Amino acid sequence: MSGAMRERPWATSGEDATSTTVDPMDERSFPARPSGPGRKASRAANDGSGSVPPGHPPARRFRWPVLAGLVLLLAGCATATSPSPGPSTGVTGAGSSAALGSPTPTGSPGPPLAVPAHGAYLGAWVHPVTAGKSRRSFAVEAAHLPALTAQLGHPLALVHVFSSFKLPAPVAAVENLERQGSTPVVDWGCGGDLHAIVSGAEDRAITAYLGALTNTHHPLLLRWCWEMNIAASHPQITSPREFVAAWRHLAGDLHKSRATNISLVWCPALTGRNPAPYFPGRAYVDWIGIDGYDRSGTATFTSLFAGFARQWGSLGKPLMVAETGAQAASQVAYLQSIGTGAPALPQYRAVMYFDAKGPEGNWILTEGGLAALRHLANGPWFQPT
């Protein structure tokens, strides 16, 4: 969760701004990515059998005559490794150039995380540390996850992994969570200069990062530059137009890497500027997320998130509450409201609790809150099918 002071609320607890016009911009040429059968199918597809996962085209085979093939090989060796062009987006720099030196994908990455037909995934950021400033370290989370898993009775479906834009991909954390039975939600920082992304200057780093995550062969969600509509938190975002261009460029790099196991999550904050101008278009996102907290002590899941569902739930993309929480006094009541409110808002196919201390409140689970979360985790709605 961003720690900056919130700006002009476009949505308050109870209601979202209803005058926003959502422009899905879905008539672009960015190819639709296949929907996969999910975690179980992903494991089956990567068990070494060599079978092609459902929805994945077979590898292209070039049947050239031998002599012509030799001629072309000799004459075209200088361009044989040129990348295929990215999607035509109509935005300068979007998907325009591929990086060099990225990891070579090894085998099929597998399918993306399946979207539940019924119910929702339950997840969390697990960092219940009150002393000092949270560095969002996975080592801290890894130390606390086993105890939480034991208390819940089974692993969380989704777990956050925060990652700086300039650091290598958190492959060890991703593989750690997969071994424990959870799907990672990799929260990737924005980077210091969006223009460098748009221009292609960061393509080498982006493609290396995506390649490393692709080679884990596990489904995961990638939430890049979340809460982009809180201007004070993101001075590198000079305008919504620049953010959209950067997002589309990154999506183009993702498409070129054929990272079918990675699903992109676009995630504004419930408070801040109107997020609609920051939306890159339906063809460029897989999930639509939202971050929102019970800061008043009286909010419910419905009062916080029903308005956002009305605005964004008609685009044909699954919604997720990527961060939410309540402080000690209202925590039990708020978590209980998720149990009643989430089934009434089936557009939300994932809900993630922020079990950590933030700059605007302490959302760490109390004993009562943990019991309420355990009740949620074992309730029928959070047993997705």
In the 8-state DSSP scheme, what is residue 185?
E
pLDDT one-digit tens code per residue, 97-130: 223 334 555 668 999 999 999 999 999 999 998 7
Q: How far apart are CA 125 and CA 146, in angstroms?
A: 13
**Domain assignments of the chain as residue spans, ordered by start:** 109-382
Residues 6+ apart with CB under 8 A from 133: none
What is the structure's pLDDT at 183?
98
Q: How far apart are CA 74 and CA 94, in angstroms?
A: 32
Angle between helix 328-344 and 301-312 (nearest 10): 40
CA neighbor of 127 nearest in space, from 294, 363, 375: 363
- Residues of the chain with confidence (pLDDT) below 50: 1-102
Please list the alpha-helical segments (H only) found in 10-105.
39-45, 66-75
Q: How far apart are CA 321 and CA 312, in angstroms?
A: 12
What is the structure's pLDDT at 87?
35
Over the Cα atoms of the chain, what is R_g? 21
Domain 109-382, CATH = 3.20.20.80
Q: How far apart are CA 195 and CA 65, in angstroms?
A: 45
Name residue 359's amino acid: P
Name residue 302's amino acid: T
What is the structure's pLDDT at 360?
85
In the 8-state DSSP scheme, what is residue 269?
B
Report yes or no: 35 and 112 within 8 Å, Cβ to Cβ.
yes
Angle between helix 203-214 and 171-180 (nearest 10): 20
CA neighbor of 2 nearest in space, from 269, 331, 192, 350: 269
Q: Pseudo-torsion of CA 113, 384, 158, 176, nearest 10°?
A: -70
Residues 6+ apart with CB under 8 A from 127: 134, 136, 137, 140, 141, 144, 355, 356, 357
Q: Write the DSSP string, 280-308.
A: --GGG-SEEEEE--B-SS---HHHHHHHH
